[in-house]
Structure formats: C-alpha cells, structure tokens
Structure 1
Amino acid sequence: MFSRFTRLRCYSSSSFKTAIDTAEKLVSPSSTKFNDPFSIVSHEMSNLAKSIANLIGSGHPTLNRVSSYYFEAEGKNVRPLIVLLLSKALSKIPIEQRNRISIDKYDVTEQSHIKGTPTNISSIAGKSVDDSLSPLAILHGINPKVILDPLSKPMDKLPEFDILNGILPKQRRLAEIVEMIHTASLLHDDVIDLSDSRRGRPSGNIAFTNKMAVLAGDFLLGRASVAISRLRNPEVIELLSTTIANLVEGEFMQLKNTVINEVDNEINNDGESKRIPDPTGKVPTKQHEYSVNLVNHDTNVEAAFEYYLHKTYLKTASLMSKSCRAAAVLSGAQDDIIEQSYQFGRNLGLCFQIVDDMLDYTSSDTQFGKPSQADLKLGLATAPILFAWEKEPKLGELIARKFNQPGDVEIARKSVEKYNGLEKTREMATDYCLKALNNLRFLPESDARSALELLTNSILTRTK
C-alpha cells in the first residue's frame, strides 16, 4: 500500500546537521550576504535559549536548574527555526493581502514605516503582550511591593519589531513557546521511556530524578501557557493549547502501540500487564475509533498504518503544523495561506518523525544523541516493522506482544532487512517531503522560502 512513492533527489550539501549548525552559528544577519539561507534568522536562533530562560522565571534554584537543563545542550531547535523562517516568508506577502486580522499595535513599533498598516488598531484587553492580564499580586501570591524573588517572575519583554527582519514580536514569542512545549514533552517522554541519555548527556530523569523531571516538564507547560495567553489571540491560544493535549493523546496511543495489541481493558507497559478498572457509568466513555474487529491480514496492516500515522501526527506533527498555522494567523494572512501553512507543518512533521523512526534502526547511540534501536526494545511498532509485517504475517504475533519474548527483537530486525522495511520507510518519508515542498509554493518567492525548502530537503538526509 505504501510501497510506491516518487523519490526525491536531495542535495548532498543540505544535510540536516549542517543546516541547523549554520543557523545557530551565524549571528549577524544584517551584515551577511545570502550565502546560506539560514543566516536570515540566525540572530533570533542564537538568542533562543537565553530568551526562553527569561520566560521560565522560577525563583526556586533547583526548579530553575531542572527546567533549564535541556536548553543548555545542543539541540536541533528545528521547531522554532521553522516558525521563524515561515514568519519571515509570510512577511513577504503584501500587507494589504494580510488583513484577515488586524495586526496588534503592540506587534509593530513605528507602524508608519510599513506602507498600508492601519494606524487605529487597539490591543485585545487594551494591554501589551508584555503585561499580565491579572494583578501581579494574584499571579504571584505575594505583595509585589515587597522585594522578594517570586516563584513565577514577570516574563521578559518582547523585542521591538525589526523592520528589516519582518518577523513580528509575537511570532518570535511563538517560536520560544513552541520550543518550551517541545522540551517539556522531552522531559516527560524520557521518564516514560526510561531513557538514560538525551542530546549526548544524561537525560533529565537520570541527572536529577523522575519526580523532578516530571515536575519541571509540568512547570514548563505552565509557563508556556502564560506566554500563550499573553499573545492575546483566541485562535492561536486554541491551536497551541490543543497541541499540549495532542501530545498526551499520542502518548496514550503509543501505550497501546497498535490496533492488534491487547484487549481494550488491558495495558502492557514496561513489562507490566494491568487491567483497567471498568467504568462506573457516571461519566460517559467512548471506545476509541481504532478499536475494531480486524478480520484479515490486509485489514490489520492497513489499520496499523492508520494508527501509526495518527499517533505520529499527535506526538510530532501536531506541534509543527499548529505552530505554523499560528504563525500565519498572527501574520494576518488569508485563509488559503493559513491552510497551506498548516499542511506544510503537518507534512514536514510526519516526514521528520518517520525519518526519526528509520534512524532508530540505523544510527549509533553517539550519532543519534539518545539510545538507538530503542523502539523495538520498547515494544513499538513503527513504519519499518509494519512494512515487514505486510510481507510476513507471522510478525503480527510479535507486534501484539510488543517483542517481549527472547529473540523477538532480533527476528524483527532481520525481517525489516529482509523485506526492505527501511527503504520503504524512506519512500514514505519522501512522499511527505514532496507534499511539504508543494505547500511552500503558495508563498511568494523569497530567501526565507528557499531556506524552508532547503530545510525540508535536508530532513531526508539527516543522520541525527
């Protein structure tokens, strides 16, 4: 079913690592010629970690340490990079074609410099994005006149709008929020998956404790939610809040793993089988749409792929797609551009995670920055093994029991190799890559669009 995809010829010079490294190292976009497209947002990227640290704002030293831990290490930062590049690409759309919403007067300073920008715009609630909606004494639980270091400090102010850059301050804040949400999910995932390394160093649960890692992730989500609310755009608030719920939904789908796993009232995780209590009837509960009676092998495989892609969307592509949509909404772009921005993020996110699942089979721990070959050990059925199962029905038994019997993991790996599971997975990723590139064609030609195209291509060639 997924065996025929058009292959995309990728430029060897556009490796994922090179693209990301260049974006982080170049720090003076205004004085740099367009030799590398990522230089156009390098200033924002180089200040990302510092800006996020100012948003975290915990006065408790240990909480501040754990919450900031993952931002210290070298990460891919691909999500904020996408938001910033897309925001700059959207700025090339003429202002008169970006009138779906009024651009908040606190987004842009000295608006007279921008031809066609309305001058009679008022902010939602009549306040700046830097101001709290509630009194500080209520938010902090202290008398703000007393000199104390509150556990939730006021957030750092947004930078002024850079006319040469074109990225709105709210879009820069959006990029920071997206990375905070993503990092919170990493802290939680490493506890759930019993990981011992992340970004080439001990994971948060190992460096601190499981409890501290979970609490730090919760705190990051809380601070991200405050920043989301201060964007003062109901549609963007809805989009970003939904991504947090999606991450949890995807994690629950991963607990079950596939549609052919245990019966719906049992879960099996970390080698422990547990029966879920029967509902009392007081609260209506709905059976999951994937809980169906599967009647033959082809139906099983098709349903498993649908389940896998849905889970992949919730865990990875949701944050990318909805943050891209949010960037377009904040730009004032029309509905068709907003939809193409969303589809770009969706297709790119699916491509990104499918490549990640493929790299789990091929990369070493050092190269990958986290334990490789972990998916099978965790009992996860990703695209490579699903493609093998399509050709070898007996693998269904191993998938159903999460490869928990001696020899299961090795049998699965050999089957992936025998039935070209990795090659077919790459073809699937390539298909989503092509779709993402097609979505970008709805944007005006610009350096920023070229950078997004380069980034999209480089995802297929990345090695970590």
Structure 2
Amino acid sequence: MLRFSKIASSRIVKSSSSKLWLPVSQRFQASSSFPAALTAAENLVQPQKSNQFDPFTMVSGEMRVLAKNIAVLLGSGHPTLNRVASYYFEAEGKNVRPLIVLLLSKALSKIPESERTRIVIDQYDVNTQEEFKGTPKAFSFAGQNPLDSISPLRVLNGINPSIILNPLSKPMIDLENAELDKKNGILPKQRRLAEITEMIHTASLLHDDVIDLSDSRRGRPSGNIAFTNKMAVLAGDFLLGRASVSLGRLRNSEVVELMSTAIANLVEGEFMQLKNTVFQPNLNQIENDNTVKQIPEPTGKVPAKVSEYSVPTTNLITHEENVHAAFEYYLHKTYLKTASLMSKSSRSSAILAGCNEDVVEKCYQFGRNLGLCFQIVDDMLDYTTTAELLGKPAGADLKLGLATAPVLFAWKEMPELGPLIGRKFSQPGDVGLAKKAVDDHNGVGKTRELAEKYCSDALANLRCLPESDARSALEFLTNSVLTRNK
C-alpha cells in the first residue's frame, strides 16, 4: 500500500465546497487518490508527536495491529487450518471496512457524552476489574471481562483449556492496545468490532473465490488455487465461527443481531447473484454453466416465499418496467453483498458509543450509501481497468453472466440486449456484443453518475457528526471511492 509521506508533508488546504481537508498534491490526481486516502485514513488512528497538527495522523496504530489481533482470534490446533485462515490477511488488502469502523468510532467520540444516552458507554480499560460500562445491565455478567469467555473454556474447547492449542483460552486484548484506544477515543469494543468486520468480509472472499472460480486475489493466487476448494470453504466457515465468538463477547444483543444479519445478507446476496429471478422466473430450475438442473419440488412442510423481485413473464410488462425491476434487483443484491456489512458495522459502532437514535440511523445510512457507491464503482472498474491494477481478474462480470450497472444502462437504450442478459451471455459473441453496447450507450459514464449520487448521500449523512479530523478523513475517503482505480 502507498505511504502517505508526500501527502503528509505537502501543504494542506481546506476546500470551501466540500469542507474536506485535501492536500494540494492530490486534489487533481484522480487515479491515485483512493490508495492515498486509505493510507491517510489509516494514519488517522494514532496521534504522532511529530505531526500532531496534521489531520491525517489518527488511526494508524489500530490498523497496524489489525492482522496481529485477528491472528490471535483465529489460531486453531491445526497448523494447516491456521495457514489457510490467515492467508488473505497476509496480503496488502484495502481494509476499508475496519478502517471505516475505526474512523467513525473516533468521530463519534467527539459527540459530548451528555448527548450519548442510549446506553451507558464504556469508560474503563477492559482489562481492569471495574464493572464494564458499555453493556446494558440486562446483558452484564458479574465479575467477567467483556472479552473473556462467558461459558467455561472446557465447554468451548471440548478439551481441557490449553494456551498452546486454542486461542479461546488466550487474553483477547493487551494493555498496549487499550492505552492506544484511550488516547484516540475509540472504545475497546469498537476496535474489536472492526476486527470482527474484517473477519466476516475475508470469510466471504474465501467463499466467493470458490463460487466464482477465481484464480487470483490481492495480486496472488486465490485461496481455492493456493490450497483447495474444500480447504478454502472450511477456512471461511472457521473465520465466521471465530467472528461469532468474538461478537458474542461484546455482550450487546443489538450488535450481535445486526452483525449476524449481515452474515446472512452475504449469503442472500450471493444467491440473488447465482439465481437472478428477474430473468429466470422458473423457481424450479437452476441454470449454471450452460446447464439446467431441476430442483426437488417442495413438500409444503416449509412454506416457500416467492421473491418480491420475481417477474412471472417478461411478455406481460413493458421494457421500461423490466429494466426498472432489473435495477431494483441489482441494487438490492449490491446492498446484501457489499453495503450490508458496511452499514451494519457502522450502525453497531454508533450503538456501542451510546449515540442517540438519529445519529445511529445516520451512521447506518452512511455505511449503506458508501457501500453501494463502493460496489457500483467496483462494477464499473471491471469494464475500465486491468487485472494488474485490480489484483483480481478484470472483465470477469460478463464472463460470469452478471448484468451489473454498465450493461443494465446499455440495455435500457438497447432492448435487444435482453435475451443476452437472460441467457447470462453464454453464447459465442455475447460478451463482445455486450461490451460494445456498453461503449455505444455510455454505460460506464452513467454508472459513474449513479455512484456519485450515493457518494453525495453518504457525505450528507456524515454531517450529523461534529466537525473533526476524523470526520474530514471519512469525507476524504468517501470522495476517493469514486476516483480509485482498484
């Protein structure tokens, strides 16, 4: 990842239009602003004496120890499982999701405590024996540290607790990190939330690469290639299991509910992508790799609800209605697959800070709009950039049969694309025709405009927070999502 030394040393100016702190050297470098913004935002988590007035020196400490802390949570008694589960954390990933949680947590700390009355917030180092203040009384456990186990370790492990074999019997936090949290206004629970969020996201990457038959991720062989499909799937499951343990130890039932729902949303979104009911209304069939598989008829014992996005037949609706339904389906799938985790972790951070309902909701909407913007830009980059820049295969969406925003915009102007979308671009020449249609009808430009709308909405959501360096960093990061090239 790029270092931010040049930006930190350059002259900083304040933009009157967006109220963002932007370095002069980066204001007109669209192609490189996203990596710079990530690095800048990372640096916003730890104050540094040498640059105490630089707005981009806040959260680097937490980001530096992110992978280390996750490794403590992940370790198992099997060395190969450890290797597969930690594989994606070894590479230089974007780490956008935990970065958002940490920056938002710091920004929320600027709200006076008198205005944060939803719950009594955490005031103590979690390693002390003081009563933990960040959990509603109904969910407190007398005499227990909130990051310690609730059930006996012999029950959790299935064996006598062993410090060597199982991290469930290791300390979950160290004093050095706790002191850093205090300096930055980031609650220990919020930092753990950031780690949980990245674990959930990484588990989804392991599973997605198996489903999509990907051969690269973050500039190296994907987990399914480096190991096997089975090991990649199992490692993803293991990550989700460990994330669930850590989530339960936060002892906030609302946050557990939110983040658990985000995990379910990832699966729902993947099913929406695999089985596009807008173009494949036959719910008794699964189309995959140019083959059709008949699925078992339901027995009626469990009622099966038909998706609200199902279209009985395209012959009974107009082209405009069909396109509208497809866009609704696409945006909902995008929310489930990408924006849900960002929005629910953002909302959870505000809940843990004890914020009132209006701020909690604005934080949720910020994560939702930023997540939608992020994925829409990702879909756009699939048409405009190279595999080397992306760190994963480029131009993969059409080959996978996915109708994302660029081709949907082209279809709106060119109805004859409908049959190609319906058969998932499976016939020879379909991919080439779709790409040409995107170029001819400015599908990429219109997709950028859609992303800009969600970016603008996300920036508006942030205005509920007091002005601070952390808020400026979030605004800078949000703007940079639009100009990233990977």
Same-fold call, TM cutoff 0.5: yes
CA distance in 2, matches of 1:354, 1:211: 30
Does residue 1:212 correspond to 2:231, yes or no?
yes
Q: Is the 8 A contact 1:89 1:444 kept in 2?
A: yes
| Secondary structure, aligned partner of 1:164 | helix
Q: 1:380 to 1:122 in 2, by over 3 A?
A: closer
| Secondary structure, aligned partner of 1:267 | strand
CA distance in 1, matches of 2:222, 2:465: 39
Amino acid at match of 2:465: L
Q: 1:52 to 1:418 in 2, by over 3 A?
A: same
Q: Is the 8 A contact 1:348 1:436 kept in 2?
A: yes
Per-residue CA deviations over 1:68-94 (Å, capped at 9, x if unaligned) read 000000000000000000000000000
Residue of structure 2 equivalent to 1:87 = 105
Residue of structure 2 equivalent to 1:70 = 88
1:264 is displaced (CA, Å) by 1.8
Amino acid at match of 1:30: Q
Per-residue CA deviations over 1:260-301 (Å, capped at 9, x if unaligned) read 225221121233321121101111111111113341100100
Q: Size of the alignment, in residue pairs?
A: 452
CA distance in 1, matches of 2:406, 2:346: 28
Per-residue CA deviations over 1:80-127 (Å, capped at 9, x if unaligned) read 000000000000000111111012455668999xxxx99x98971122
The within-5 A match list for 1:361-440 is: 361-440=383-462
| Secondary structure, aligned partner of 2:182 | coil
Instruction: Return the match for 1:12 from 13, 16, 28.
Output: 28
Amino acid at match of 2:159: I
CA distance in 2, matches of 1:299, 1:274: 29
Amino acid at match of 2:413: K
Divergent runs of 4+, >6 A:
7-10, 108-112, 120-123
1:129 is displaced (CA, Å) by 1.8
Does residue 1:441 correspond to 2:463, yes or no?
yes
Residue of structure 1 equivalent to 2:295 = 276
Amino acid at match of 1:85: L
Instruction: Return the match for 1:285 from 271, 284, 304.
Output: 304
CA distance in 1, matches of 2:328, 2:171: 41
| Secondary structure, aligned partner of 1:211 | helix
Q: Is the 8 A contact 2:347 2:363 kept in 1?
A: yes
Q: Is the 8 A contact 1:317 1:350 kept in 2?
A: yes
Instruction: Return the match for 2:146 from 129, 151, 171.
Output: 129
| Secondary structure, aligned partner of 1:190 | helix
Please, which moves more after superposition, 264-273 or 29-38?
29-38
Q: Is the 8 A contact 1:260 1:300 kept in 2?
A: no
CA distance in 2, matches of 1:108, 1:90: 19
Q: Is the 8 A contact 1:25 1:42 kept in 2?
A: yes
CA distance in 2, matches of 1:308, 1:321: 18
Please, which moves more after superposition, 8-17 or 340-349?
8-17
Residue of structure 2 equivalent to 1:173 = 192
Q: Is the 8 A contact 1:205 1:212 kept in 2?
A: yes
Residue of structure 1 equivalent to 2:4 = none
The within-5 A match list for 1:81-120 is: 81-104=99-122
Instruction: Return the match for 1:240 from 247, 252, 259.
Output: 259
CA distance in 2, matches of 1:196, 1:102: 48
CA distance in 2, matches of 1:31, 1:266: 63
CA distance in 2, matches of 1:266, 1:69: 36
Q: Is the 8 A contact 1:377 1:403 kept in 2?
A: yes
Extract unaligned runs of 5+ from structure 1: 1-6
CA distance in 2, matches of 1:319, 1:64: 24
Does residue 1:157 correspond to 2:169, yes or no?
no
Q: Is the 8 A contact 1:170 1:231 kept in 2?
A: yes
CA distance in 1, matches of 2:434, 2:451: 21
Amino acid at match of 1:98: R
CA distance in 2, matches of 1:108, 1:38: 28
| Secondary structure, aligned partner of 1:160 | helix
Does residue 1:453 correspond to 2:453, yes or no?
no
Does residue 1:313 correspond to 2:335, yes or no?
yes
Amino acid at match of 1:135: P
CA distance in 2, matches of 1:110, 1:222: 27
Residue of structure 2 equivalent to 1:197 = 216
Per-residue CA deviations over 1:341-397 (Å, capped at 9, x if unaligned) read 000000000000000000001111101100000000000000000000000001000
Residue of structure 2 equivalent to 1:337 = 359
CA distance in 2, matches of 1:411, 1:147: 59
Per-residue CA deviations over 1:195-216 (Å, capped at 9, x if unaligned) read 0000000000000000000000
Residue of structure 2 equivalent to 1:140 = 157
CA distance in 2, matches of 1:398, 1:41: 47
Residue of structure 1 equivalent to 2:241 = 222
CA distance in 2, matches of 1:421, 1:245: 31
If asked which structure has higher relative contact order (CA below 8 Å, sep 6+), I would say 1
CA distance in 2, matches of 1:443, 1:90: 7
| Secondary structure, aligned partner of 1:333 | coil
CA distance in 1, matches of 2:395, 2:188: 41
| Secondary structure, aligned partner of 2:183 | coil
CA distance in 2, matches of 1:390, 1:258: 18
1:28 is displaced (CA, Å) by 5.5
Amino acid at match of 2:108: L
1:36 is displaced (CA, Å) by 5.4
Please, which moves more after superposition, 384-393 or 149-158?
149-158
| Secondary structure, aligned partner of 1:428 | helix
Residue of structure 1 equivalent to 2:347 = 325
Amino acid at match of 2:140: I
Per-residue CA deviations over 1:302-354 (Å, capped at 9, x if unaligned) read 00000000000000000000000000000000000000000000000000000
